[in-house]
Each structure stands twice: as C-alpha cells, then as structure tokens.
Amino acid sequence: MRALQLSARLKFQVDADTIDVCRQIPLDDLPAERIWAEFEKLLLQAEQPSLGLTLARTIGVIDQLFPELNALIDCPQEPEWHPEGDVWTHNLLVIDQARKDIHDLPYSKQVAVMLGATCHDFGKPSTTATIDGRIRSLNHEAMGVEPATMFLDRLQIYKLSGYDVRGQVLGLVAHHLKPGMWHTARDGVGDGAFRRLAHKVDLDLLTRVATADCRGRGGTFDCSAMEWFRCRAEALGVENAPPDPILMGRHLVGLGVTPGPQLGKVLQQFMTGNWMAK
C-alpha cells in the first residue's frame, strides 16, 4: 500500500522486480487503519491518484482489498456518453478531476469529496444492461449506496473531527446525477427541491463531484449544468447547509403538543411539506 501512494505522489515507476515481490505479499491481515492511512495519502496528497490506483490493479491490491473497485473493471458504458471506455477508466479520470478541486476545503470535506468520487459509480456493475441497443445503468446512483457502505465499512470511515464523512459520501453517491438532471428539467425544479436536497447532502460538495464526473470522460462535454446548480444553491443560501428551521419542537410544545415520537413526526411532515416545496 505504501508503494502505491509513494509512486503516485513522487511520480516514479516501480521496478518490475519490485512489482513481482509486491504481488506475492498477502494483504488479508492488514488492519483497516493501515489501509486507510495509505489510501488517504494517495487520494489527498498525490496530484494524480489514478497513478497509484493503476499500480494497485497491477500488483493485485484492487482485487484483494477493494472488490467494489474491482467490479468496475470491464464494466461497459455507452460510448456516446463515455468514449473513455469502461467504468474503471472513467472512475480514475473522475478521481483525478476531483483532486483538482479540493484545495479550498477543510480536511474532512476533502476526504468526503475524494471518497465520493471514488464510490460514485459503484452501482453500475449491478445495473448495467443493453436496452434497445444502448448500454444503460438505470438507477445506478441509488444502487451504489450499498456497495459504497461496504467500502466505507472496510476502511472504517465514519466521522472525522465531528464531520459526518460517511453520511456525506453516501449522499454524494445517491445524488450525483441530480445537478445534471435538474438542469435538464430546470423550469420545473423549484427552490424547495434544493432545500430538501440540502438536508441530505452538502450541495457544494455535490457540485464538485458532479463536475468531476462530467469532466472525467473522454472527449468534450458541456458541464455548465454544474455551475447552474451551484448558483441556484448559493442564491438560496443552502450550498453548505440546509436552511434554518422556522418551526422547532419548542414551538409545538408551546401549542400543546406532547413531547415524544409524535412531535418528531409532525416536525418531519412540516420539513417535507408545503414550505419546503415552494
């Protein structure tokens, strides 16, 4: 694992004999803390993490430690939208693109973006099919949450410095198509949709991952949808956090609602009700 991150960070090629030795090293006894320590350096300190991930595939680290990443290899994509090739190749490009756009973020959010980019298409292997002559991966964003959870479990990623990295990564996986989809249907997407989504994922981080996803393809694609999404979120003041609640539990208690589960249900209904839809 250390060879992977060092080769990527320092941009040197590992000797063929060293690669052969690395292939013989069993990795099943490595603790999660050790794996994450090296993987974190690869994602955050290498300018092109793809260099280390490519080496990881060569020496057998991917198939031994990361079955969710291994499943991306040779998973096909529609050439019109992904001329770069399979999902593995796309994922490497997305990770490198995401790495360019985290310098202004605090550490915990950097981790969330990079893991979100790493996991964003984990749902494609289980959903990819040829439909009417086209390669489709319908609902892959939702189906990616379970394998992303398993991946985070393996690395024991939960909170970092009090920040819910796990929750954000899973939100990024589940919603990474939203910016592009909402831009396509922008006349029908109200402010309430942004407010509701801000309760599920950091919209600034989502914009970064969606932008990396768009740019991480061969060819030239219009990624202006992501800037539109960012501007809408910023205009509503929800780019980093959901809006402050205008109704709180103490207000309901003051109106005679008894504290307990029912109070929480009323608050939840209000949060997803009319005011959020406007």
- DSSP character string of 232-253: HHHHHT-SSSPPPPSS-HHHHH
Is 153 inside a domain boundary?
A: no
Examine the pLDDT at 76 and tell me if it is beyond 80.
Answer: yes
For residues 4 and 32, give the distance between their C-alpha atoms in angstroms, rounded to a whole number.
16
Question: Could you tell me if residue 160 is inside a domain?
Answer: no
pLDDT digits (tens, 9 = 90+) for 24-66: 888 888 899 999 999 999 999 999 999 999 999 999 999 999 9
Mean pLDDT of 242-259: 63
pLDDT at 274: 47
Supply the pLDDT for residue 91. 99
From 215, 125, 134, 137, select the one nearest 179 (Cα to Cα).
215
- Rounded to the nearest 5°, which phi and psi values hold at 28? -70, -10
Which of these ranges, 16-25, 35-44, 90-99, has the smallest mean pLDDT? 16-25
Tokens standing for residue 165: 């990295």
Is residue 256 in a domain?
yes
Give the residue with greater pLDDT, 137 vs 255. Answer: 137
Contact 121, 87 (CB under 8 A): yes
Q: For residue 37, tell me if it sits in a domain.
A: no
pLDDT of residue 139: 97
pLDDT surpasses 90 at 75: yes
pLDDT band at 271 (very low <50, low <70, confident <90, very high): low
**Any domain includes 72:** no
At 277, the pLDDT band (50, 70, 90 cuts) reads very low
pLDDT at site 23: 86
Residue 264 in domain: yes
Region of 237 on the Ramachandran plot (φ > 0 left; ψ -120 to 50 alpha; else beta):
left
Range scoring the smallest mean pLDDT among 126-140, 215-229, 232-246: 232-246
Of the candidates 160, 162, 161, 182, which has an alpha carbon nearest to the alpha carbon of residue 227? 182
Give me the number of domains the chain comprises. 1
In Å, how far from its chain's centre is CA 141? 10
pLDDT digits 0-9 by tens, 144-183: 999 999 999 999 999 999 999 999 999 999 999 999 999 9
Is there a domain that residue 113 lies in? no
AA letter at 231: C
* Averaged confidence pLDDT in the chain: 91
Quick check: 269 pLDDT over 90? no
Pairing of strands 159-160, 128-131: unpaired
The dihedral through the CA atoms of 120, 124, 126, 132 has a sign that is positive
The answer to the question of residue 251 being in a domain is yes
Q: In whole angstroms, give the CA distance from residue 14 to residue 63.
A: 19
Q: Which domain holds residue 270?
A: 247-278
Among the ranges given (48-57, 117-126, 249-258), the one the predictor scored with the smallest mean pLDDT: 249-258
Please compute the mean of the pLDDT values over residues 225-238 and round it to a whole number: 96
CB 11 within 8 A of CB 49: no
